[in-house]
Structures are given as C-alpha cells and as structure tokens.
Amino acid sequence: MKYLQLVVANLGRHKLRTVLTVASVALALFLFASLRSVTTTMAAAAQFGGARRLVTLNATGLVFPLPLAYGNRIKALPGVTGLSWANWFGGRYGDGKNFFANFAVDAESYLALYPEIVMPADQKQAFVQDRTGAIIGDRLISQFGWKLGQNVTLQGTIFPGDWTFKVDGVYHPTDPAIGDNVLIFHHDYFDERIGRAGIAGWYIVEIDDPSRAPAIAKTIDDLFRNSSSPTKTGTEREFQASFATMWGNVSFLMSTIGLAVVFAILLVTANAMMMSARERTGEIAVLKTVGFSDKLLFTLVMVEAGAMALTGAAIGLGGATLLYPAIHFNGAGFLPGFKVATSTLIFGALVALGLMLASGLVPALRAARLPVVQALRKVE
C-alpha cells in the first residue's frame, strides 16, 4: 500500500495519455463483450425449447406454408398430446425503424402449449374471445407506451394493408428466449383478412415422452412424404438451432473482429506503457540508487500496467453488462434475451489480464534489468 502513491503519481504523469489508454482498453473490451454476447445469445436461443415440443415445417423451407388439414392427422398420431399452429406475419409499426416480431397463432392451443407466456387470467380470456385482439410482450408495451385496450395498427409487408389489433393482454415470458417484444394475434383473423383459409406456417406438436421425439418426428414426416407439401419435423431446440446456424459465419466474423479489436488495442497499450517506461529511464536509475530492488521495480511497472488494463476492463465489461439491460437491447427483435454472459465477463477479465502481461512485461523487464551506471551517465 505504501507504494501506491508512487503508482498513482506515475499514472498521473501524463493524465491525458493515461485516460486515453484506459479509454481504449475500455472500448476494446466493451466491443469484445458486445460482439461475443451476440454469439452467446444466439447460442442460448438455440438451447431454448421445451423438450416435449416438436416443430413441423414445410420441407422446402419456412416461407412455404402447410395445409391446415395436416393438423388433425398429426394430432391423431400416438404420443401426440397437443397441437397448435402459427404463421409469420412480418408487420411493421410506424416508420418501421423499430422492428419487432409479430405472428398469428391459434390462440387457445398456442397458449396451452406455451406456459412460459405468463399474463393475468382475465387478459388471457379476453384475448381468446376477441378475434381482432392481440397480446404483446411487456417490453414492447413500455417501449411504445401502449395501454391495455387501445388499438395498435401494423402495416402488412408480406400481407399488405393496415392491420389493427386491440391490446387485450400484456404477457411476460418466464424464458427470455421467448422474447418480451412480440405481438401475437389470432390465426382466424389472419385467415379472414388474407382470404386464404386453411394454411399454417408451422405446427407446434406436443408429445408425451421426449425420448420418443425422433420416432414421432419421423412418423409425422413419413405421413406426408408423398404429399404435395412434405414436412420436416424436429425438436423445438433444433428449430431454434437452425436459425442460429444461419448466423454461423456472422458469429465467426464477430468473434474474429472482437479479437482483432483487442489485439489492436493491445498494441496501443503496450506502446503507451513502453513509452512511459522509456521516458523514466533516469528516474528508474535513481530509484535503484536509492535502494529499490529490480524485483520491486518490476512489480511497480506491472502494477501500473495492471491498473490501466483492469480499470479499462472494469469500465468496458461493466458498461456492457449494465448498458444493454438498461436500454432493453434485443438486436431489433433478432436477439431476445440479449445480455453479457458470465462466461464473457470471465473471458474478458482474462483478456485484460493478458493485456496487462503483454503490455507491462517488456517495460517491467527493461526497468528491472536497467544498468544503473549507464542510465545515470545519460541522465547526468
């Protein structure tokens, strides 16, 4: 502790340089945490999904619908205990800058299959009974300042026109991967407006035994193999993972950019530390003359590097951890439950530690090994 004044004094020698170095470390680790959080959030989303829920899609792709008539045939299969269906809507609100997910569902069966969607019983009842009603995630409600009972109008993009829904319920998801910024409305109303009844975007199939999921999925797909719309069935987790794999290269790109940024900052910090140590060659020689040992000087220079790296890390990682929940960031609806994971904080702290070692080691060794007489000759 008694050497603290020396470390603090040295850090304050060039205040602007110290502040800029700390700021650059903070920015690097903020970016690192942010970019890594994109990949961890996507990975977490891929882990979402009840073990007892399967998803059946058109084998050609998600954008192709399935006949609604498939529902009864799937429901009749052994091991299937529940069924619902949904359709992607893709409506836009206002100027469209604040995108959020919205889709049509068969209300009663959908809510029965998703106990993670929690809302007051009266609101749930009101929604089930109101064909033009909608339930909306609590974050979306607070984001736009909507009130229960008011009308919200979306502009259809895939299905043109103005679509007005009455806010019947505000839900809160117990699993962040469900998303608290989704608008869900009735499939009946959707069918009626587009004038094309009898189609479903995808089916959600509840089964009695998760261990039978592969067999039941195969049975479903076999059932429609020779039809005009063959299906592809998998667990809900696989369905989520398929979205995540679409981002595969983006994840790699983000990880690479994150590490490249940290490496660039490492060079800046190392340069600042070396410059600082080089400027103090004479002072280090004086301290050695006074009796400071090589080991002590090595430690002091390392502590200086550590103070800068760790302060920057605390600001960068702490900032990212606090900022995103505060602004309810969700990547325009594509990254529900976005947050900086503990593993990212640990990884970031290790990066900061590495930064400290890499930027402090050379100047610290140089200080420790400085030949006093030659250094003093230069000073004197």
Q: Which residue ranges make up the site for other proteins (CB under 8 A)?
A: 2-3, 5-6, 9-10, 12-13, 282-283, 286-296, 372-373, 376, 379-380
Per DSSP, the residues of 106-154 read -HHHHHHH-TTEE--HHHHHHHHH-TTEEEEEHHHHHHHT--TT-EEEE
**In the chain, where do the E strands start and end?**
53-58, 66-67, 80-88, 101-105, 117-118, 133-137, 151-156, 161-173, 182-186, 199-200, 202-207, 231-235
In whole angstroms, how close is the CB of 5 to other proteins at the nearest point?
6
Nearer to other proteins, 2 or 97 (CB): 2
Q: What angle do CA 270, 274, 277 make, to 5 degrees?
A: 140
Q: Choose between 95 and 380: whose C-beta lies nearer to other proteins.
A: 380
Q: Which is nearer to other proteins, 107 or 367 (CB)?
A: 367
Closest CB 366 distance from other proteins, rounded Å = 15
Measured from the CB atom, is 18 or 87 closer to other proteins?
A: 18
| Nearest distance from C-beta of residue 299 to other proteins, angstroms | 13
Q: Note whether 65 and 349 are within 8 A (CB).
A: no
- Compute the distance between CA of residue 262 and CA of residue 316 in angstroms, rounded to an integer: 12
Rounded Cα–Cα distance for residues 145 and 315 (Å): 32
C-beta of 153 vs 293, nearer to other proteins: 293
Strands 182-186 and 101-105: parallel
Compute the least distance from the CB of residue 288 to other proteins, in Å: 7
Asked if 214 contacts 89 with a C-beta cutoff of 8 angstroms, the reply is no
The distance from CA 373 to its chain's CA centroid, rounded to whole angstroms, is 57
User: In the chain, what's the furthest Cα-to-Cα distance?
Assistant: 95
Distance of CA 40 to the CA centre of its chain: 6
Give 5 or 72: the residue with its C-beta nearer to other proteins.
5
Min dist CB 254 to other proteins, Å, is 41
Beta bridge partners of 55: 204, 234
CB 312 to other proteins: min, Å: 21
Contact 94, 127 (CB under 8 A): no
CB of 309 to other proteins, least distance (A): 21
Q: Which is nearer to other proteins, 177 or 376 (CB)?
A: 376
Distance CA 37, CA 131 (A): 39
